[in-house]
Structure 1
Amino acid sequence: MNDLDGYTLHESVPAPEEYMALREAAGMPARSLEGARAGLPNTVYGVSVRRDRAGDDHPRGDTDGELVGMGRVVGDGGTTYVLSDVAVDPAVQGRGLGTRITEALVEWVDEHAPSRAYVTLVADVEGFYERFGFERTAPDSHAMFRRVE
C-alpha cells in the first residue's frame, strides 16, 4: 500500500459492482456485470486506489474506502500483457492518481514479465503513456477491436 495524500493504492482489483460504477463515472464504455464477475478474478496484476478519509470535495458524498481509481494488467503471464481499465473518478482527477496507478502497473510488468514480452494498451488519453515507455505502433501496425454485442 502506498499513501497518496488521502488515498491509498492497494494491490487488488475492486468488486465487480465497483468496477462497473468507476468505469461509468470515468466515461468509459460499459461492460456487463457478468463479464466483470468472470474477468476480474483472472487479472494478472491489479491495483485499486481508495479514499482514506471523508472529505467535502466529492459530489456523490464520501465514505472511507471508496474506490476512486484502478488499473489492471491482463494477459497470458508470459508473452503478452495488456494494461487495461486504467481509470480515475473525474471528481478526483489531477492529483497524480492515474500516474501512480500506471507506475504501479509498469513496475510490476518490469519486475515479473520475461524478456521480450509484448506489453500493449489502448490509450484514450493523448500523450499520457509515452512517459512510461509506450510508443505508437502506427504506421507499422494498427490497433483494432471487435466488441461482442
Structure 2
Amino acid sequence: MKTSSFAGVIPNASVEYVYQYASIRRLNLPDASGLQTPIGSEFLNKFIAILEKHLADPDLGVAQLTRLMLVSRAQLNRKIHASSGKTPVRLLTMLRLEKACSLLVQTDEQVMEIAIGVGFRDARYFTRCFTRHYGISPRQYRFRTR
C-alpha cells in the first residue's frame, strides 16, 4: 500500500479514496511524451472545470450540468463514467469535499460556513457526507491536521 501524509489523519479506506480522486485528476494532465490524451479526457476536463466554477452553487445537479455541457443526461453519465469510473454527482461531491478539506486546514471559518461555501445546503448533511467519506468529522479533521 502507498504511504501518505494522510495516514495518521484519516483511515486507510479514505486514503484509498484520496488516491482514487488523484488518479481521476491525473487524467486531466497532458502526457509528458506529448501524445494525445485518453479518449474522453477532454470532455472530463471541461466537466471538472464547470464543476469547479459552479462548486458553491447548491442547486448544481445533473439537470444543470447537462445544460452546461450541452449533452443529454444519458450522454453525461456515460461519458463521465467511462472517463473516470464515477458518476457526475459523485465527482461533484468529491470536489466539494476536497475543497472543504482545504478550507478546514487553511481557514478558521466555521464548519457551517465551509459547508455552505462548497455547495452543501446545511452543515448536518455536509458533516454526514464528510464523515462517510473520510471516517472522521470535519472538526476532527481540522484538529488532526493543524
Q: TM-score, length-normalised on structure 1?
A: 0.28
| Structure with more strand by fraction | 1
| Structure with more helix by fraction | 2
Q: TM-score, length-normalised on structure 2?
A: 0.28
Higher relative contact order (CA 8 A, sep 6+): 2
